[in-house]
Amino acid sequence: MTTPDHPSVHPAWLPDAATAFLHGRTVLVAGDGPLAETVRGEARRAGATLVDGDADLVLRDTGAVPGGEGFVVAHRDGRLDVAADDDAALLHAWFHVVRSGTTDAAGHPDARHEPAHALRMLDHWDNVDVHPVMGQVERGYSGGSIFYADGHVREDLSRVEQYARLLAATGVNRVAINNVNVHAREARLLTDGLPDVARVAAAFRPWGIRVHLSVSFASPIVLGGLPTSDPLDPGVRAWWADAVARVYAAIPDFGGFVVKADSEGQPGPFAYGRDHADGANLLARALAPHGGTVHWRAFVYNHTQDWRDRSTDRARAAYDHFAPLDGRFDENVVVQVKHGPMDFQTREPVSPVLAAMPRTRLAVELQVTQEYTGQQRHACYLGPWWSEILRFRPWGPVEGDDGSPTVSDVVGGAGPGASPQVAAARGGGIAAVSNVGDDAFWTGHPLAQANLYAFGRLAWDPTLDPTAVLDEWVALTFASPSSASADRTVDPDVRAGVHAVLDDSWRTYEAYTAPLGVGFMVNPGHHYGPSVDGYEYSPWGTYHFADRDGIGVDRTRATGTGYIGQYPAPWRDVYESLDTCPDELLLFFHHVPYGHVLHDGTTVVQHVYDTHFAGVERVEEYVRTWQGLRGAVDDAVFERVTERLAEQLRSAREWRDQVCTYFLRASGVADAHGRTIY
Q: Is 667 in the site for its own copies (CB under 8 A)?
A: yes
| Cα–Cα distance measured from residue 426 to residue 338, given in angstroms and rounded to the nearest whole number | 19
Helix axes 383-391, 449-460, angle to 10 degrees: 20
Residue of 547, 635, 639, 643 that binds its own copies (CB under 8 A): 547
Name the catalytic one among 5, 54, 264, 549.
264
Per DSSP, 273 falls in state T
Residue of 5, 156, 487, 549 that binds its own copies (CB under 8 A): 549
- Cis peptide bond prior to 570, omega within 30° of 0: yes
Of 53 and 132, which CB lies nearer to its own copies in the complex structure?
Answer: 132
Of 309 and 635, which CB lies nearer to its own copies in the complex structure?
Answer: 309
Q: Is 312 in the site for its own copies (CB under 8 A)?
A: no
Q: Residues 474, 493: contact at Cβ < 8 Å?
A: no
Name the catalytic one among 86, 87, 230, 343.
343
Per DSSP, 531 falls in state -
Active site residue 371: yes
Report, in Å, the least distance between residue 670 CB and its own copies: 13
CA–CA distances in Å: residue 266 to residues 152, 270, 541: 23, 11, 18
Q: Is 131 in the site for its own copies (CB under 8 A)?
A: no
Residue of 533, 621, 639, 643 that binds its own copies (CB under 8 A): 533
Q: Residues 292, 176: contact at Cβ < 8 Å?
A: no
Report, in Å, the least distance between residue 384 CB and its own copies: 30
Options 22-30, 201-209, 278-286, 532-540: segment touching its own copies (CB under 8 A): 532-540
Q: Residues 269, 276: contact at Cβ < 8 Å?
A: yes
Report, in Å, the least distance between residue 665 CB and its own copies: 3
Residue of 419, 489, 625, 658 that binds its own copies (CB under 8 A): 658
Report, in Å, the least distance between residue 183 CB and its own copies: 16
Q: Nearest to residue 115, comparing CAs of 163, 59, 71?
A: 71
Active site residue 110: no
Q: Residues 466, 386: contact at Cβ < 8 Å?
A: yes
Active site residue 264: yes
Of 133 and 569, which CB lies nearer to its own copies in the complex structure?
Answer: 133
Report, in Å, the least distance between residue 307 CB and its own copies: 7
Residue of 307, 395, 528, 638 that binds its own copies (CB under 8 A): 307
Report, in Å, the least distance between residue 667 CB and its own copies: 7
| Cα–Cα distance measured from residue 362 to residue 365, given in angstroms and rounded to the nearest whole number | 10
Q: Is 522 in the site for its own copies (CB under 8 A)?
A: no
Q: Residues 1, 15: contact at Cβ < 8 Å?
A: yes
Options 333-341, 403-411, 543-551, 572-580: segment touching its own copies (CB under 8 A): 543-551
What pairs with residue 256 in β-bridges? 212, 293
Cα atoms in the Cβ-side hemisphere of radius 13 Å centred on 256: 27
The beta strands (E) that lie in 298-347 are given as 333-338
Q: Residues 448, 359: contact at Cβ < 8 Å?
A: no
Name the catalytic one among 87, 371, 409, 610.
371
Using CB under 8 A, list all residues that contact its own copies: 132, 307-308, 310, 530-533, 537, 546-549, 657-658, 661-662, 664-668, 678
* Residues with catalytic roles: 264, 343, 371
